[in-house]
Structure 1
């Protein structure tokens, strides 16, 4: 999970102030927990430094407002299209997908296709390893890889369900 990309997602939707970004980001994360307010402001400072976000004055309650820049939108789109490797937690992809849905990302299908391609590549590599471990009689590694393959299969099934719902 990346606070940076969560903030870029939320600012893509609308200009906002730090505390509201904190609340919205916690909502985007669902059951994952709370965000430290200091982390929001530190991240906003870095995003401004990197010219991905700009400060655009104050709202009617004198809170500093932020908006995403053109470069910020490019960075967000680039991140959304990057597949998440399996060794990273699958929640990372689910968070990224939630961000894409939040902004009605036009390339969501491309994002899902790239994730499927990465999973399939991992499945092929792990299936080869699984066979080698079976031939060597290494039952522990064989079973560990079998478990990983089952997780990858579940991830593929989930992506297929998402795609089927999008087509309905």
Structure 2
């Protein structure tokens, strides 16, 4: 997740001050990834240094406002167009399973069962969240949740597959 680019996306919409960016980010992700205020201001400092944002001044409450520059918009578009690489074999559970096999760990079935239980809890949580997104008519977040559910479904099938080995 790129905080830098999410702040640029929010600034593309309209000029904002730091706290507005923090709350805008949390609204964008439906509160699923809280953002530290310090991270917002550190990122804004870097964005300003790199000339991706500029400050036209302060608002009526003396809060520093930020706007996206042309260079910032180009950076945002470039990031949006670039495909995302995935570390498919660097999943922590995959590595645990690899290590357990390497040392002839005898409780691999328990390991797998515990992982499945955790994933099933995630499925329940995401299913509940998906229903909330339907009620809120948030189609984009609903699609993201559906994608996460499909990944979990595939991982659960893989756990069933390795449980038989």
Query: How many pairs are equivalent?
Result: 95
Aligned-partner SS, 2:61: coil
Larger Cα-atom Rg: 2
> How far is the alpha carbon of 1:18 from its aligned partner?
0.3
CA offset at residue 52 of structure 1? 0.3
Alpha-carbon shift at residue 48 of structure 1 (Å): 0.4
The equivalent of 1:64 in structure 2 is 64
Question: Shift of the alpha carbon at 1:67?
Answer: 0.2
| TM-score with structure 2 setting the length | 0.52
Is 1:47 the equivalent of 2:35? no
Q: For residue 135 of structure 2, what is the aligned residue in structure 1?
A: none
| Residues 30-109 of structure 1 mapped to structure 2, 5 A cutoff | 30-87=30-87
The residue correspondences of 1:138-153 to structure 2 (distance < 5 A) are: 147=158
State the Cα deviation string for residues 49-84 of structure 1 (Å, max 9, x = none): 000000110111111000000000000000000111
TM-score when scaled to structure 1?
0.51
1:164 equivalent in structure 2: none
State how far apart, in whole Å, the 1-side matches of 2:33 and 2:72 are.
26
- Partner-residue secondary structure (3-state), 2:55: strand
Where does structure 2 lack aligned partners over 5 or more consecutive residues? 92-139, 141-154, 159-165
Task: Please tell me the root mean square deviation across aligned C-alpha atoms, in Å.
Answer: 2.5
In structure 2, distance between residues paired with 1:75 and 1:33:
23
Distance in 2 (alpha carbons) for counterparts of 1:54 and 1:7: 13
Q: 1:32 deviation in Å? A: 2.2
C-alpha distance in 1, partners of 2:31/2:24? 13
Residue 20 of structure 2 corresponds to residue 20 of structure 1: yes
Unaligned runs of 5+ in 1: 90-100, 102-143, 148-168
